[in-house]
Structure 1
Amino acid sequence: MTQSMKTDTALPIFSHEYWQRQAVLCQWFANLLIKELDEPALTAYRAGDAAPLLGWLSEDGLGQEAEALQSAIAGFTLLEHPRLELAADFATLFLSDARHSAAPYASCYLGERGSFMKEPAQRMAERLRNAGVILPADVNEPADHLAVMLDYLAGAYRQLSEQPLTAQSEPLTGISQFLQEELCSWLPAFSQRCLQTPVVSPFYPTLTQLINNFCRQRLQEANRD
């Protein structure tokens, strides 16, 4: 996050800058889901560093979701031990038994509940290989972890931002297929399970609802004529 980002003007859809924004937002979501917030990140959030990113989301029509996440961030000050309590929420939601938690793996929702490393993980691993993507050594997660998938989507948007406007049709079709088949197919159930899991802070359930609506909006956008 950085306070130097500007949100003064909504960007034209399909512009290079617009796709770059979507890449940054996808990368932000991925970073939030791959590990717990540390103390420097919490300090940055309390200082308002998320405001530019939330501003982008509001400009893109996700104002209600952005406001809800901002409210959850403001609520960090009400926690007695923010880092520890948010880490406990992260563990409860994403690290517990997949049969009883909101495990962030596509295989758990597109197959038998609580299942791991099924067809969604194999498809995603193939996508990563085809794109020449090697996960960092500290990311010890299956390929169908939501953070990995959002990181992949961020890369697709970065590549799209480098294409001439007349050559965006094919990569947009690929993004549309990825969103429809690999993300929007299970994110509603995932975000709903997050909302139903008792936690101390609304931060992560609100975040996952935002990600669900963000991906649904990106799918509708990619399918425009």
Structure 2
Amino acid sequence: MTIAASVSQENEIRASIYWWFATVFTKELDKQQLASYTSGEGAQLLKQLADTAELSSAVTMIKNNLAKLSAFKHPELELAADFCQQFLSDSKVGAPPYASVYLSANKLMFQEPHEKMRALLVSQGLQVDPNFNEPADHLAIQLDYLGNLILREAPAQQQADFINQHLLCWLPLWLDALRKVSKGGFYQGFAELLVGYLKLELSEL
């Protein structure tokens, strides 16, 4: 195998991880998706990430919450309720996953981060899926974009700039808001895992 092929394979794995994170924050998980985190591909990936010391506590939080959910007859409905309360509510009672909410003075949507993200998507010939009717600065769209950037093997500096300028500039604020409403739940665990993973990625780019 050539060196170029090895790099491409690594980037394919990295991109898939960001797309995996994106699916968690796109919409409520169905029964099959949730099951994958206890006995499927999701569980395997969590196990691999837990081998990294900086990520292990976040994975433990996720697994502990999965164990609590298993006590319910319909755990996917319990988790869907958490998703709605945390991400589909305003910033007074939830933690909406939009950069504009945390980077604008009045915590409003469709502000400068949204416009910058729209411009980036256009520059790469990308667009938001019409079936996902959300602003361009939604976390899932940003993660999807980063995955595409990686798969296209954009320069490391370009990837690092995006992580710094479009993700880590607001995700710690979002995580603080989520901690107040989540109380150690499934989505807080994934948010902690994402932020930890981004910081590790940044240190290696």
1:1-225 alignment, distance < 5 Å: 15-61=7-53, 62-160=55-153, 171-198=155-182, 202-222=185-205
- 1:212 and 1:97 map into 2 onto residues whose CA distance is 22
Q: Answer whether contact 2:22 2:141 (CA < 8 A) is retained.
A: yes
The one-letter amino acid paired with 2:160 is S
Q: Answer whether contact 1:107 1:119 (CA < 8 A) is retained.
A: yes
Q: CA RMSD in A?
A: 2.0
- 2:193 and 2:122 map into 1 onto residues whose CA distance is 29
Which residue does the alignment assign to 2:3?
none
Structure 1: 5+ residue stretches without partners: 1-13, 161-169
- 2:151 and 2:47 map into 1 onto residues whose CA distance is 20
Q: Deviations over 1:173-214 (max 9, x none)?
A: 111110111100111111121111046x71011111111111
- 1:70 and 1:152 map into 2 onto residues whose CA distance is 28
- 2:118 and 2:52 map into 1 onto residues whose CA distance is 31
Q: State the number of aligned residues.
A: 199
Assess, with a 3 A threshold, how the Cα gap between structure 1 residues 65 and 16 changes in structure 2: closer, same or farther.
Answer: farther
Deviation, structure 1 residue 88: 0.9
* TM-score normalised to structure 2 length: 0.88
- 1:193 and 1:131 map into 2 onto residues whose CA distance is 31
Q: Answer whether contact 1:99 1:114 (CA < 8 A) is retained.
A: no
Deviation, structure 1 residue 113: 4.5
* TM-score normalised to structure 1 length: 0.81
Structure 2: 5+ residue stretches without partners: 1-5
- 1:113 and 1:51 map into 2 onto residues whose CA distance is 39
